[in-house]
Amino acid sequence: MKATFPYFGFDTYALKSFVEALGAEVVLPPATSRRTLELGVEHSPELICMPFKITLGNMLEGLERGADTILMAAGARKCRFGYYHYLQKAALVRLGHNQRLVPVSQYSPYGFVFRLMPSLFGVSGTRVLRAVFLMIAKSSMTEEFRKLLNRSRATDFESAERKCRKALALIEQAGTMSEVRECRRELRELFRPNGRRPELRVGMVGEIYFMIEQYANQEIEKELGRLGVEVLFERSLYHHIMHLLRIDPGYARSRRLARRYLRECPGGEAIRTVGEAIHFQESGTVDGIVHVFPFTCMPENMALEGLQQLTADTGIPVLSLSFDEHTSRTGLLTRLEAFVDLLKRKKREQRVSRN
C-alpha cells in the first residue's frame, strides 16, 4: 500500500512514522505550495473553509506521486471538518481518481487502535498500539522542536533558520523509539539557549490546522520570529492526541477558564482558543495574543467575540487574523508589523510607568 495524507506542519513527520510503523509505504505530497492551493481551490466549493481546499490540493498532488490510498482525518460533529471527506471523495471521483479515501474518525481511540487501523493495514492491535506510542513520542518531540525553534528565531533569526533545515532532516529520519530519543537530545543540543532573551512574546491561539500547518498560516511564527517575537502556543498534534485519549489537563483548564465568556462549547476549538488566551493573559508570560483561523470558521468566530471581550476586560492586545486563499502576504506582514509596534510601545509605557 502506498499511503498519502495531507500535510500537517512539522507534525507530518510524526504521522508519517506512524503509518510506516504499520508497514505501509508513505508517499508524501510535495510541500504545500501555491500550486497545491490553486489545485485545491479549483475543485472545491466556493464557500467552504480554507483547510478543505489545501488538503484537497495535497491529496491531488499525493496521487500524482503514485499513492493508492489517502488517509484523511474525520469525525468532528459540530464543525465542517468532519464532513470534508464526503465532498473530497466526490471531487476526486469527478476528476477520475478512483483511489481509496479512508476517513479516519478521531473520536473513538479504542475503535481506532483495535478496529479501523488493523483492518486497514492488516496488522494486529498491539502493533497499532506500538505505532501510536511512537507517534506520541515523535509528536511530543516536534512540539518541543517548534518551541525551541520559535525561541531561537526570536533571538537569532538567521542561525535559527539554518538550524531548522538541519533539524527537520533529523526529525524525518527518526523512525524508532530510540532514534526519537536520540534525535531529541540532538535537537536540544542544536538549539541550546544563547543567553539572549526575546524582546516580546505573543501567545498564538486559534484553529488547530492553522496553528500547525505553516503554509496555511503564511508562516506566521517565522515572520513574528523575524520581528524578534517569540511565539508561544499550546496546540499541537501531541496535545490533540492527549485530548483524544482524554488525558489532556490543558483542556480541562481551558474549559474552566473559558466559561467566563463561553458558557457552552459552540464546537470546534472555540473553548480552547478562549481558554488558552485567558491562560496566557493570566500567567503574564505574553505581551499579546495572535488568533488565527480560516475565513468563515464558525466556532472561531464565536471565540473571536470572547477574545474581544477579553481585550475589553483586561487590555491585552489581540490580533485576529482570518485566512483564505486571497489573503495577501504583504497585507499580513503589514498587520503583524503594526501589531508588534503596538506591543513594543505598550511594553515601553509600562516600563516607564513602573519606574
Partner 1 sequence: MRIGLPRALLYYRYGRFWEEYLSGLGADVVLSRPTDADLLQRGLAVVSSEVCLPIKIAAGHVLDLADRVDTIFLPRMFSLDDGLYACPKMIGIVDVCRMMLGNRVRLIAPVIKGDLYGPHFRAGLAICRNPFRVAQAISRARAALEEERPEPAFPKGEKRVALIGHFYNTGDGYVADAIIQGFRSRGYRVVCKDDLPQGVLRSRAGFSRNIRWVYERELYNAFVHLKDKVDGACVIVSMGCGPDSLVAEFMREESAQARLPFLQLVIDEHTGMAGLVTRIEAFVELAERSRMKVRAA
Residues that bind partner 1 (CB under 8 A): 45, 47-49, 77-80, 82-83, 86-87, 90, 261-268, 270, 295-299, 301-302, 304-306, 308-309, 322
> Minimum distance from CB of 265 to partner 1 (Å)?
8
Distance CA 54, CA 63 (A): 14
The answer to whether 295 touches 323, Cβ cutoff 8 Å, is yes
- In this complex, which beta carbon is closest to partner 1, that of residue 221 or of residue 300? 300
In the complex, the smallest distance separating the C-beta of residue 228 from partner 1, rounded to whole angstroms, is 30
**Of the two residues 94 and 354, which places its CB atom closer to partner 1 in the complex?**
94
Which triple of cell numbers denotes residue 114? 483495535
Burial of 284 (0-12, 13-18, 19+ CB in 10 A): exposed
CB closer to partner 1, 244 vs 298: 298
Q: Smallest distance from the beta carbon of 306 to partner 1, in angstroms?
A: 7
Rounded to a whole number of angstroms, the minimum distance from the CB of residue 327 to partner 1 is 13
Which positions ≥6 away from 23 have C-beta within 8 Å? 121, 122, 123
Nearer of residues 26 and 79 to partner 1, judged by Cβ: 79
Give the position of cell 469525525: 75
Q: How far apart are CB 108 and partner 1 at their closest, in Å?
A: 15
- Do the Cβ atoms of 72 and 59 come closer than 8 Å? yes
CB of 237 to partner 1, least distance (A): 23
User: Based on CB atoms, which residue is closest to partner 1, 66 or 331?
Assistant: 331
Cα–Cα distance between 52 and 36 in angstroms, integer?
Answer: 12
Residue with smaller CB distance to partner 1, 17 or 322 = 322
Q: Residue 303 Cβ, how far from partner 1 at the closest point, in Å?
A: 8
Query: To which residue does cell 533529523 refer?
Result: 170
Contact 242, 234 (CB under 8 A): no
Q: What single-letter DSSP state applies at residue 220?
A: H
| One-letter identity of residue 23 | G
Encoded amino acid at 252, one letter: A
Cell of 172: 524525518
For the four alpha carbons of 150, 152, 158 and 164, in that order, the dihedral sign comes to negative
Q: Closest CB to partner 1 among 228 and 267? A: 267
| In the complex, least distance from residue 170 CB atom to partner 1, rounded to whole angstroms | 39
- Hey, is 168 helix, strand or coil? helix
Residue number with CB closer to partner 1 (301 or 327): 301
Q: Which three cell numbers stand for residue 187?
A: 535537537
C-beta of 320: minimal distance to partner 1 in Å? 8
Nearer to partner 1, 230 or 276 (CB): 276
Q: Using CA atoms of 346, 350, 353, 355 in order, give the dihedral in degrees to the nearest 10.
A: -130
DSSP-derived pairing of the beta strands 69-74 and 25-26: unpaired
How many whole angstroms separate alpha carbon 228 and alpha carbon 337?
11
- Could you tell me which of 66, 60, 55 has the C-alpha nearest to residue 27? 66
